[in-house]
Amino acid sequence: MSQTTASITTAQWQQKRDQFVSKGVSNGNRSLAVKGEGAELYDLDGRRFIDFAGAIGTLNVGHSHPKVVEAVKRQAEELIHPGFNVMMYPSYIKLAEKLCGIAPGSHEKKAIFLNSGAEAVENAVKIARKYTKRQGVVSFTRGFHGRTNMTMSMTSKVKPYKFGFGPFASEVYQAPFPYYYQKPAGMSDESYDDMVIQAFNDFFIASVAPETVACVVMEPVQGEGGFIIPSKRFVQHVASFCKEHGIVFVADEIQTGFARTGTYFAIEHFDVVPDLITVSKSLAAGLPLSGVIGRAEMLDAAAPGELG
């Protein structure tokens, strides 16, 4: 902790926060974190907290992991940001190779890197639209994909994410998603799956024609409207439907990725190979980095300069 930080009380930091930081940024805890180690945070007054949020799924290896700290120091001394579109550099290529190797599927893959999870989702949409030459985008009820205009349009929860921020992006639709806790009383999981799968199929009759849809974007485990795990049968049906109709199936692994569910990617639990995967959060252990990994022919649909 710096001397300057220590010389100001928590109450004074709170006052400064209220004076200089937008109230649109929420704050669940008004303590002031000054040190993090593993799963623990320490505030200015010496109190210890267990960080169950992990910066909202961003710190799967915890705060200030020694290997991460060493890597940051080493990289900062060598090179920070030349801009890959200006001059390539090794770490970008090595990371792309690594992620293409661990992503599900034996097909040829490529990757692109960006700054935030929302950017990754937006670029997955761009890639899908360019590849399919279609415009429609389908996400799911209770899903969360970001706060930019496109990803806010794809996000289900109106308050606090969408209320008063319209108009939203066009050609975005939300399909039904199973929630077994809220199934009708006395109904078996299998019967409930039948019902939701039928509702999903009907959605592509009543709401949008599959021939106009570029991509279906799914969180393998939803993390914003409750931690909701769909059945393997439902996820496999969605993937099969996409394949049948030439729709790009996108697994949004921004929060679920990098062993958060026990495998590198949550989609692996469902025995499904997505066309594209969006990643961020724990990809860089707290530093701003995101990416899209996927089928090489899809990543190459855009011409040089159209992605970045």
Q: What tens digit of pLDDT does each residue of 132-186 get?
A: 999 999 999 999 999 999 999 999 989 899 999 999 999 999 999 999 999 999 9
- Rounded distance, CA 252 to CA 265, Å? 10
State how beta strands 290-295 and 276-279 pair.
antiparallel
State how beta strands 172-175 and 213-218 pair.
unpaired
Mean pLDDT along residues 4-30: 90
Q: What tens digit of pLDDT does each residue of 274-295 get?
A: 999 999 999 999 999 999 999 9
Q: Which domains are delineated in the chain?
A: 3-52 (no CATH), 82-299 (3.40.640.10)
Q: What tens digit of pLDDT does each residue of 51-108 get?
A: 999 989 999 999 999 999 999 999 999 999 899 999 999 999 999 999 999 999 999 9
Question: Which helix (DSSP H) or strand (DSSP E) does residue 251 occupy?
Answer: strand 248-252
Mean pLDDT along residues 245-259: 97
- Rounded distance, CA 15 to CA 12, Å? 5
Q: What tens digit of pLDDT does each residue of 205-251 get?
A: 999 999 999 999 999 999 987 899 999 999 999 999 999 999 999 99
Q: Do the Cβ atoms of 254 and 128 come closer than 8 Å?
A: no
